[in-house]
Chains A and B, each alone.
Chain A
Amino acid sequence: MVKVASSFGRSGTHDFILLRASAIILLTYVLFLVSFFVATPQLTFDVWAGLFSNLWMKVYTLLALTALLAHGWIGVWQVLTDYVKNSLGRGVLQFIVSVALIAYWLTGLFVLWGV
């Protein structure tokens, strides 16, 4: 059993499930947004703000940002543990990426709060 502290989930299986579950959420969110853009001929600020004033859209967006946090953390951690052999360098890069992902999530939360 290989033990690591910087991974996201509790185990390899946990990471595996989170990665796939978050991918499904992100895929549906992207498809939804693309179809929204296609179905909306005149995209104005009012239409955009109207979409995000719905409670379900706020929940959906926050869910997608949470999925992005999990997916990005696990995915980048996998790439970094493959290619960055210096543990200090890997730790610093993981820190930067993780902080950025959490910042995205918090930014999303406050933006949605304000709509």
Chain B
Amino acid sequence: MKKITFSIYRYNPDVDAKPRMQDYTLEMEDNQDMMVLEALIKLKEQDPSLSFRRSCREGVCGSDGFNMNGKNGLGCITSVSSLKSNKIVVRPLPGLPVIRDLIVDMEQFYAQYERVKPYLINEDRTPPAREHLQSPEERAKLDGLYECILCACCSTSCPSFWWNPDKFVGPAGLLHAYRFLADSRDTATEQRLDELDDAFSVFRCHGIMNCVNVCPKGLNPTKAIGHIKSMLLSRAV
């Protein structure tokens, strides 16, 4: 048997004056491994007041984004063994207001997502009878962009988003912005770029690539942001 210590961020605004870290111990067989989410569910059996979000428990829904041993990720696809420590510190995603324990208020994150109009805009006056066709090459441009599940691991690991969450769109929002800028069926490219052409929305990204480092889906928001900057530059020069 081995003992793993979990130090978990606890905060219940109705009871606690300020947040605190609470230690829990979980016993595991020597050769046993489990995901952090599974461990949290077991700890919740010890202490039912422990709160966190989870849903699909397989890395698809993006509900259980946590900061585990200093790195953002999804609890359901991060194994305890991959953290390579007998002490695991679990905190809520950084930079967002905490509602309770590991549950954060995602309002600001969604507001930025909404700002980039994450839907197809096509003002073609004569729409095709059945559907907008794309060539395989045009469709290939959307790979690496559409897979984002909005777990907020990237945006909450980005210092630019921490300092200006109301002005900087953040890596997740910008990945979606580029997903529609790159879409051959979308006709609102100019309006989308106009909306982003200020000193904060895109250009507050200085390319430190924290977002790439943490994305549980292995996406590359920094690259997408680079493409948006290139589009803004080539239309300005």
Question: Chain A residues in contact with chain B, CB under 8 A?
Answer: 1-4, 7, 9, 11-17, 77-78, 81-83
Contacts and interface: CB of A to CB of B under 8 A. Distances in A.
B210 to A, nearest CB: 15
A85 to B, nearest CB: 8
B202 interface: yes
A17 B197 contact: no
A106 B161 CA distance: 37
B164 A81 contact: yes
Most chain B Cβ neighbours within 10 Å, of A12, A16, A17? A12
Contacts of A2: 167, 198-201
Nearest to B232: A13
Interface residues of B, number: 21
A106 to B, nearest CB: 26
Contacts of A81: 163-164, 200
A16 B229 contact: yes
A82 B164 contact: yes
B160 A12 contact: no
9 contacts: A1-B194, A1-B196, A11-B236, A12-B196, A12-B232, A16-B232, A81-B163, A82-B160, A82-B204
Nearest to A20: B233
Interface in B201-216: 201-204
A4 B168 CA distance: 13
Given A2-B198, A3-B198, A4-B198, A12 B164 contact: no
Contacts of A7: 199
B147 interface: no
Contacts of A78: 199, 204
Contacts of B160: 82
Dominant SS among interface residues on chain A: helix
A83 to B, nearest CB: 7
A16 B232 CA distance: 10
B237 interface: yes
B138 interface: no
Given A2-B167, A82-B160, A83-B163, A17 B200 contact: no
B226 to A, nearest CB: 12
B195 interface: yes
B199 A15 contact: yes
A12 B163 contact: no
A1 B201 CA distance: 7
Nearest to B166: A2
A82 B159 CA distance: 9
Contacts of B203: 12-13, 15-16
Contact of A13 (B159, B204, B236): B236
Given A12-B197, A16-B233, A78-B204, 11 more contacts: A1-B195, A1-B201, A2-B167, A2-B200, A4-B198, A4-B200, A11-B199, A12-B198, A12-B232, A82-B164, A82-B204
